[in-house]
Structures are given as structure tokens and as C-alpha cells.
Amino acid sequence: MKRQAEAKIPTDEGHFVMIGYADQPNDYIPHFAFVSDKTDYTKPVYVRIHSECITGDILGSHRCDCGDQLKESMRIVGKEGGVVIYLRQEGRGIGILNKLRAYVLQDQGFDTAEANEKLGLEVDKRDFSVAIEILEDLGIKSVKLLTNNPEKVKAIEASSIEVHERIPLIIEPNEDNLRYLTTKKDVMGHFLDFHNTKHKH
């Protein structure tokens, strides 16, 4: 996997360079790194590893906290410098069609993990090794990791990159995603404290 294209992307949250990573130059589903123009590579770098969520990121679905986490990450990185890595592993790696099928089962009473298992799928089949490749390509040695997910912390700690700090990215639940977030906490072991507000800088 290597850099295939990059361009400057000005946003409401700041100015970024968007870099596309893929094995082939015309890959239709590349991974992305959004690198703030304020990034200082001599210090620990704010990093968010974000997995694609069409329903949350694009449509603002209330069934998850993904879209809000992405917005907050872009805000922090845009202000402080850093990188948001956008991995194309929709629905924790099961794809958008299976995610929609899982939603139907969730509406019947199954939680997120149970719905995946009932479909014969893994609860979480994401692979964060691509994110590590991107960080290494960018020359990042130490990170302030914006995450509640212990698996992301473990993945970075198992690499050559230092986790200088883990920064919570707490989104207050709503009535539509409370069970989803509770499953994240109780079944998947995410570091979640719903009494906290979003991490602010």
C-alpha cells in the first residue's frame, strides 16, 4: 500500500492535506489520511483512527456515535494539528449491506454484537494495521490517540509507534444509540463514561 494521490482540502475545522492510500493507483475504495497543516512531527501527534460509517458520517444517523466522533476529531486535529485516518471498513468490517441487515435485527431486540453473530459475522473484524502503515509513512513516532477503543491502543502499542497518551472521545448518548453505546462498553470493553461530556480543547 502506498500514497496514490493527495490534495489540499480547506474545511470549517481547518486546512488539511487529504492523502489517498491504496495498493493500486485507481483503487475505488482507498483509505485516507487528513493531515492538518498545523501538525508538528517533532512532538506527539493527535491521531484519530476512524472506520467508515456511511450512515453516521454522511447522514448523521443517531443509531451510533460515529459521525459525532468524526466531527469532534476533525475539530481537535484542525485546532491542535494532527491526523485523522479514515479506514474503509464499514460496519466494523462487515460492510454496509450487512450493517443494514444487522439494524433490522437490532430493531427486533438484539444488541449490536448479537445481531452480527446471528448473521454469522464477527462482532468486530476491523484491522488497524493499515493505520499503522499510514502513520509510519507520515513519519509519526508518537501519538495522542483520540479513542475509547482498547483494541486501537493495543494495535499501536504493538507497533514501533509510541502511544504517548489516550484521549477519550466521549459523545453523550441519545435515546437511539444508548443501547449501542452500552454494548460497546459492556461487551467490547470500550472506555466509556456517559457522565462525561465531549472532550474539549
92: phi > 0 → left, psi -120 to 50 → alpha, else beta; which? left
Q: What is the DSSP letter of 174?
A: -
Catalytic, 126? Answer yes
161 burial via Cβ count (<10 Å: 0-12, 13-18, 19+) = buried
Residue 119, SS3? Answer: coil
The angle that helices 150-157 and 129-138 make with each other, rounded to 10 degrees, is: 50
24 burial via Cβ count (<10 Å: 0-12, 13-18, 19+) = exposed
User: What angle is formed at CA 198 by the lines to CA 124 and CA 168, rounded to 5 degrees?
Assistant: 50
Tell me how far apart the alpha carbons of residues 9 and 15 are, in angstroms, rounded to a whole number: 6
User: Catalytic one among 124, 127, 137, 193?
Assistant: 124
For residue 119, give the nearest of 100, 101, 107, 106 by alpha carbon: 101
User: Catalytic one among 88, 126, 137, 193?
Assistant: 126
Cell, residue 128: 488497524
Residues annotated as part of the active site: 124, 126
